[in-house]
Amino acid sequence: MSFRGFWSEAESHPDRVALVCDDGSEVSYGQLADEQNRVANGLRALGLQRGDRVVVELQNEPEFFEVALATSQIGVYFVPVNFHSTGSDVAYILEDSRASVFIVDEPFAAAVAEARPPFPAEEERRFVVGDAPGYRSYEKWKAGYSPDLPSDRTTGTTMLYTSGTTGRPKGIHRALPDLSPEELYRLLALIAQTQIGQPPDDAVQLVSGPLYHATPGGMAMIGLHLGHTVVLMDHWSPERTLELIDRYKVSYMHMVPTMFHRLLALPEQVRQRYDTSSLTRVLHGAAPCPVEDKRKMIDWWGPVIHEYYGSSEGGGTSVSTEEWLQRPGTVGRPWPGSTIKILREDGSECEPGETGAVYMAMPGMNFEYHNAPDKTKANRRGDLFTVGDIGYLDDEGYLFLSGRTEEVIISGGVNIYPAEIEGVLLSHPVVADAAVIGVPNEEWGEEVKAVVALEDGYVESAELAEELIAHARSNLARYQVPRSVDFRSELPRSALGKLLKNELRKDYWADAGRAL
């Protein structure tokens, strides 16, 4: 394995480009090393001790990496927060994590301050990139400290908070590693290369998703430790993605299925305008990928599309293009050292082909939900944990996902899984986005409802709804066919492309006078 390590790379090749920002400006390895050392020494000067927490609400920008790298060498937890969160949610995380320091971008600072006085209460420990009342200037603060490596370096790690789509976000807490910073990232780089194929040599990574999320942020950090150039996008758009791939000769990137769908919706002349032949690996996950969309992406970009299944808590599985083409729809087999089991409600193991709850385990990835022992216990079966996904293993141990526990539609006692239905709807040329949910039915308990957004140029109508139902009927079992179709201009999705189905379901259940 080729491993350089960020600090070694900065010393030996200080002029190498580390980051390309959304506006095209560049940050070298030497510059980034100086700035993250200033932050590390500044945090030490504030009195932070091993195990303290630094919460950041930062966009895809150099400051995110400055704090992430700084905390990783002084033994404190780096806690990135979804910058699409409400001020009250961020305030909750500040309090729940017992944050020692809070660093926020200017556009979000006021919302947190208005939600409640942010924790920590001392203004000297609250910093803003930009300017905002009640915060110190991040730039002025760090400028007062040395760019030299901090003394007595000790390894920190990341504490992610889950998305909180079914309640308050939960902190995923792990013990601090008993390794040097270089040893930790050497191990993480080895895992990334063997499990998801992150390139080992000179490469260019495009970050198309938010850095606060586990995979984009983790891949970008490992990319820096491998000596790669990391190109940042502030906001994703399909044509700009192609433009950046072409301009910077991007080697690899992470995407989500909704990005595939929107890329494929571009006119052919736009798609052919850009050269994507530099790509050697396109990793995708985070949500089920419609089979036809993936086939079309493989036809376009070639056998570079690599899928994974995992979660912020751990994982997982992976599958190459070649394997997937032999078993369309699979998310792969377990990573080396990982365990995947499908369990019934009584905890017994399902037979191949039998649907149940997906449980997994991975050595060295033990965790607990911070301040939530009951939630930690609820998702465990011995050494295995679940994040609520439903699926099955085939005879060769390949995992196929059907949906999530809270998304299962129970109609007349039959379990109906939305993922396959959504894939069929998305294969219709007029459908830009689709969600399948259960809505109240007095006789059957629930019935299948499709909610779709149309491609530009199409207008909703009763005739089009019937056409979509007929399309589903010709590709699905009778019990899977939506009873009705509603149209929306846009479906609610997270910044990483996950459907926020609770946002859709609550309207229908509230109209029926029933809670979710």
pLDDT per residue as tens digits for the range 276-322: 999 999 999 877 788 888 999 999 999 999 999 988 787 789 999 99
Measured on CA atoms in the order 381, 384, 389, 393, is the torsion positive or negative?
negative
Q: Which H or E element spans position 239?
A: helix 238-248
pLDDT at 515: 46
Query: Measuring CA to CA, which residue among 375, 307, 310 is closest to residue 337?
Result: 310
Contacts of 211 (CB under 8 A, 6+ apart): 58, 59, 60, 64, 80, 217, 220
- What pLDDT does residue 192 have? 67
This prediction has a pTM of 0.84
User: Do 147 and 129 contact (CB within 8 A), yes or no?
Assistant: no
Torsion of CA 260, 497, 82, 220, to 10 degrees: -20
In angstroms, the CA 23 to CA 354 distance is: 50
Residue 514: its pLDDT value, please?
Answer: 47
Whether 282 contacts 306, CB under 8 Å: yes
3 state DSSP class of 307 = strand
Name the residue type at position 210. Answer: P
**Burial classification of residue 347, based on how many CB atoms lie within 10 Å of its CB (0-12 exposed, 13-18 middle, 19 or more buried):** exposed
223-254 confidence digits (pLDDT tens): 999 899 999 999 899 999 999 999 999 999 99
Q: What is the pLDDT of residue 359?
A: 93
Give me the pLDDT at residue 243, please: 98
pLDDT at residue 261, as a whole number: 84
Spans of the chain below 70 pLDDT = 1-3, 117-119, 163-167, 191-200, 364, 412-413, 443, 495-497, 510-516
DSSP labels, 7-36: HHHHHH-TTSEEEE-TTS-EEEHHHHHHHH
Residue 3's pLDDT is: 65
Domains of the chain: 28-172 (3.40.50.980), 408-511 (3.30.300.30)
pLDDT confidence of residue 442? 72
